[in-house]
Amino acid sequence: MSFRTAGIHHVTGIASNPQRNLDFYAGILGLRLVKRTVNFDDPTTYHFYFGNENGSPGSILTFFPWPDARRGRQGGGQVAVTSFSILPSSVGFWIERLIKKRVEFEQPAARYDDERVIAFKDHEGFMGELVAHPDVSMQGGWSAAGVPAEHSIRGLYSITLWLDANELTGQLLTNTFGFELVREQGSIFRYASGNGRPGTIVDLRCVPGIWAGVMGAGTVHHVAFRSANEAEQLRVRSELSSLGYNVTPQLDRDYFKSIYFREPGGVLFEIATDGPGFAVDEPVDALGQSLKLPDWLEPRRFEIEALLPNIRIPLELRGPNA
Ligand code: ZN
């Protein structure tokens, strides 16, 4: 094994209405819109990136808001639950906020010795959790939309895959990605890479005979794991190929380089480089404020802007200096 991922890089979900997606993740959860661009494979639709103050790898949740997307359904072969990190002192703030914003959620529950978990769903059924843990970083807070930096979501905490069988996925995580099995409780197998801190955790929930997930609005499209650089990414690519996986070539996503393949449980995995990051085409202060296009689409900007749905970005989302 030559690779030890630093953890989750981003999670990408599917949404329908772009405005409602923005209003929920930036307006209610208070994430920073760190990039507003288009789906490189379909430039008439948006690709939104949400994250922490600087849009660090590991803090990123992205969405393809496809206006015509039908509602999907969580099931086997999917990342069913996406969990976000908050500080233990923020649990009360979030309960109050979710009530006020009429978000569907469950009362906080203790998990293992050290997690307090608030499970919620967005308006399309996307399943999320706010996980309070003492190891969540104090850094990276973003203050906007009525969420003060101290209580803000710091990034991804973990993901939970629902699988019909977990063995092969577990082997891939340990043998090729550098994860370790750190806990086994009932049908849930917890893997962690590196130090096991927030952002490095993958839970495999094994439910034999589970119905298959249906891709659509409210579900996760894929999860990306971090690679330190392109050379490492290419080494993992050849290792995966030699194991028989059908891996894409290295693709340039402007903010990182990516490779994709489907893991044995059916989930689409990506490996994304940490660099160059979201400040490569606009200053950190202005992240997300204007529509960014890759160079090869710039000549079509006028046409693309005319085809994209209109969205309104409230001033309160622009942060403390707006
Ligand atoms: Zn991705």
- Residue 6 in contact with residue 233, Cβ under 8 Å? no
Q: CATH code at 96?
A: 3.10.180.10
pLDDT band at 1, cuts 50/70/90?
A: low
Residue 39's identity, in one-letter code, is: N
Residue 284 φ/ψ, nearest 5 degrees: -55, -40
Distance from the CA of 96 to the center of ligand 1, in angstroms?
A: 32
Q: In whole angstroms, what is the distance from residue 195 CA to residue 192 CA? A: 7
Is residue 69 in a domain? yes
Is residue 259 in a domain? yes
Q: What is the mean pLDDT of residues 194-202?
A: 92
pTM, full prediction? 0.97
Distance from the CA of 170 to the center of ligand 1, in angstroms?
A: 21
Residue 59's identity, in one-letter code, is: S
- Residue 259 in contact with residue 271, Cβ under 8 Å? yes
Q: What is the mean pLDDT of residues 10-32?
A: 97
Is residue 280 in a domain? yes
Distance from the CA of 223 to the center of ligand 1, in angstroms?
A: 6
Distance from the CA of 100 to the center of ligand 1, in angstroms?
A: 32
- Burial tier of 73 (Cβ tally within 10 Å: 0-12, 13-18, 19+): middle
- Tally of structural domains, the chain: 1
Task: Please name which of 231, 162, 191 lies closest in space to residue 7, comparing C-alpha atoms.
Answer: 191
Is residue 1 in a domain? no
Residue 19, phi-psi category: left (phi > 0), alpha (psi -120 to 50), beta (remainder): alpha
Distance from the CA of 63 to the center of ligand 1, in angstroms?
A: 9
Distance from the CA of 4 to the center of ligand 1, in angstroms?
A: 19
The 10s digit of each residue's pLDDT in 113-159 is: 999 999 999 999 999 999 999 999 999 899 999 999 999 999 999 99
- The answer, yes or no, to whether residue 273 has pLDDT greater than 60, is yes
Is residue 230 in a domain? yes
Is residue 147 in a domain? yes
The 10s digit of each residue's pLDDT in 46-102 is: 999 999 999 999 999 999 999 999 999 999 999 999 999 999 999 999 999 999 999
Q: What is the mean pLDDT of residues 192-207?
A: 95
Distance from the CA of 79 to the center of ligand 1, in angstroms?
A: 13
**Tokens describing residue 17:** 């209405």
Is residue 2 in a domain? no
Q: pLDDT at position 315, please?
A: 83
Residue 291's domain comprises: 8-318
CB under 5 Å of ion ligand 1: residues: 12, 224, 270
The 10s digit of each residue's pLDDT in 122-133 is: 999 999 999 999
- Residue 131 in contact with residue 157, Cβ under 8 Å? yes
**Overall size of the chain counted in residues:** 322
Q: pLDDT at position 318, please?
A: 80
Distance from the CA of 95 to the center of ligand 1, in angstroms?
A: 30
Distance from the CA of 93 to the center of ligand 1, in angstroms?
A: 31
Distance from the CA of 316 to the center of ligand 1, in angstroms?
A: 27
Distance from the CA of 279 to the center of ligand 1, in angstroms?
A: 17
Distance from the CA of 254 to the center of ligand 1, in angstroms?
A: 12
Is residue 234 in a domain? yes
How large a percentage of the chain has pLDDT more than 70?
A: 99
How do beta strands 268-276 and 220-227 pair? parallel
- Burial tier of 285 (Cβ tally within 10 Å: 0-12, 13-18, 19+): exposed
Task: Please name which of 160, 101, 157, 98 lies closest in space to residue 131, comparing C-alpha atoms.
Answer: 157
Residue 165 φ/ψ, nearest 5 degrees: -145, 140
- The answer, yes or no, to whether residue 233 has pLDDT greater than 70, is yes
Q: What is the mean pLDDT of residues 3-21?
A: 97
